[in-house]
Amino acid sequence: MSADGFASTPPPGARSDWTIEQDWQSYTPAEHQVWMTLHERQSKLLPGRACDAFLHGLDALDLHRGGIPDFSRINAELNRLTGWSVVAVPGLVPDEIFFEHLANRRFPAGRFIRTPEQLDYLQEPDIFHDVFGHVPMLTDPTFADYMAAYGEGGLRALGRGQLHNLARLYWYTVEFGLLESADGLRIYGAGIVSSHAESIFALDDPSPNRLGFNLERVMRTPYRIDDFQQVYFVVPSLQALLDATLQDFEALYGRLARQGDIPIAAIEPGDQVFTHGTQAYAVSRT
Ligand code: PHE
Ligand code: FE
């Protein structure tokens, strides 16, 4: 999502809001090929796994067209649909800059793409994660409102010193969220849809817990950044997610400051359990 720390000076060549030109003309054929390889693999896998809003977004933005998308092309349609646009940044940006962009319906995306050796894993979000993973959901009006509200909430949480709680909400929804549908669980999280292996693991593996989304519960649950998740949270609908976050978080932050964290793989008495995971995968990795 964004870099820790307080570095607020943009790198050389970036504007004061950390944006840069995408400079689409300068991508090499090899870089376009990496996008096409990743795109092809995911678009074969995701029907029946990703939620309808995501799949519709891929179509609406015509991300199937060959090669790395030109932001100016996708922004015309994205802007028309939900008022959002994608802006290029050099890499992770400071929290405050990130939230400021979201609150103004701009999604900061890395302009660089991973190398062919990094098809399955890289640490920093690249253009494939940011654009293929995040941008299709921004064509959905409800999710688009949620992301903008999150940006405003982020600025408030930052001022209140409670970003660690709010960051968990982002993680377990925007990055790793699952959605209930009439035909079973579906993915909407960008961290899942941009990963071939986790698109399978998140839905099919018996290891992770899959629990009903509960705002306070999610904000008390730590997450891991270095491996598949041990718990996924399922929202009944995108509207329910938006509705749950419309309340002022002030009272919630007060409670969270007094409550402890919930261990990552725990199942609590009030949890709605879709899967009581074996945690076999997580155990095998320790
Ligand atoms: N309602 C939240 C607040 O009062 C803002 C928010 C909205 C946070 C949506 C996250 C997602 O801070
Ligand atoms: Fe992301």
Q: Using one digit for the tens of pLDDT, what is the confidence trace for 219-260? A: 999 999 999 999 999 999 999 999 999 999 999 999 999 999
Q: Using one digit for the tens of pLDDT, what is the confidence trace for 177-188? A: 999 999 999 999
Ligand nearest to C-alpha 250: 1
Closest CA to 70 of 114, 78, 103, 46: 78
Any ligand 1 atom below 6 A from CB of 160: no
pLDDT at 65: 83
Pocket test for ligand 1, best of 245, 247, 250, 252 (most atoms within 8 A of CB): 245
Using CA atoms in the order 44, 45, 50, 54, what is the torsion angle rounded to 10 degrees?
Answer: -30
Taking the C-alpha atoms of residue 116 and residue 126, their distance in angstroms, rounded to an integer, is 13
In the chain, where the domains are located: 2-284
Pocket test for ligand 1, best of 102, 145, 156, 174 (most atoms within 8 A of CB): 156
Any ligand 1 atom below 6 A from CB of 151: no
pLDDT category of residue 122 using cuts at 50, 70 and 90:
confident
Closest CA to 33 of 128, 152, 97: 128
Ligand nearest to C-alpha 2: 2
The 3-state secondary structure of the chain, one letter per residue: CCECCCCCCCCCCCCCCCCECCCHHHCCHHHHHHHHHHHHHHHHHCCCCECHHHHHHHHHCCCCCCCCCCHHHHHHHHHHHHCCEEEEECCCCEHHHHHHHHHCCEEEEECCCCCHHHCCCCCCCCHHHHHHHHHHHHHCHHHHHHHHHHHHHHHHHHHHCCHHHHHHHHHHHHHCCEEEECCEEEECCHHHHCCHHHHHHHHHCCCCEEEECCHHHHHCCCCCCCCCCCEEEEECCHHHHHHHCCCCCHHHHHHHHHCCCCCCCCCCCCCCEEECCCCHHHHHCC
Q: Using one digit for the tens of pLDDT, what is the confidence trace for 37-68? A: 999 999 999 999 999 999 999 999 999 888 99
Atom of ligand 1 at shortest range from CA of 153: 5
pLDDT at 7: 55
Taking the C-alpha atoms of residue 139 and residue 241, their distance in angstroms, rounded to an integer, is 16
pLDDT at 66: 83
Phi, psi of 4 (to 5 degrees): -75, 175
Taking the C-alpha atoms of residue 189 and residue 51, their distance in angstroms, rounded to an integer, is 10
Closest CA to 137 of 186, 98, 196: 186
- Residue 71 in contact with residue 54, Cβ under 8 Å? no
Going by alpha carbons, the residue nearest to atom 11 of ligand 1 is: 150
Any ligand 1 atom below 6 A from CB of 170: no
Note residues around ion ligand 2 (Cβ under 5 angstroms).
125, 190
Q: Is the pLDDT of residue 8 over 80?
A: no
Any ligand 1 atom below 6 A from CB of 249: yes
Atom of ligand 1 at shortest range from CA of 157: 12
Taking the C-alpha atoms of residue 279 and residue 41, their distance in angstroms, rounded to an integer, is 27
Ligand 2 centroid, distance to 150 Cα (angstroms): 14
Enumerate residues 6+ apart whose C-beta is below 8 A from 68. 24, 27, 31, 32, 35, 113, 127
Q: Using one digit for the tens of pLDDT, what is the confidence trace for 79-114? A: 999 999 999 999 999 999 999 999 999 999 999 999
Ligand 1 centroid, distance to 48 Cα (angstroms): 31
Phi, psi of 188 (to 5 degrees): -125, -10
Q: Is the pLDDT of residue 195 over 50?
A: yes
> Of the CATH numbers 3.10.20.740, 1.20.1510.10, 1.10.800.10, 3.40.50.300, which one belongs to the domain with range 2-284?
1.10.800.10
Any ligand 1 atom below 6 A from CB of 150: yes
Taking the C-alpha atoms of residue 115 and residue 97, their distance in angstroms, rounded to an integer, is 27
pLDDT category of residue 123 using cuts at 50, 70 and 90:
confident
Ligand 2 centroid, distance to 153 Cα (angstroms): 17
Q: Is the pLDDT of residue 5 over 60?
A: no
Q: Is the pLDDT of residue 151 over 90?
A: yes
Q: What is the mean pLDDT of the chain?
A: 95
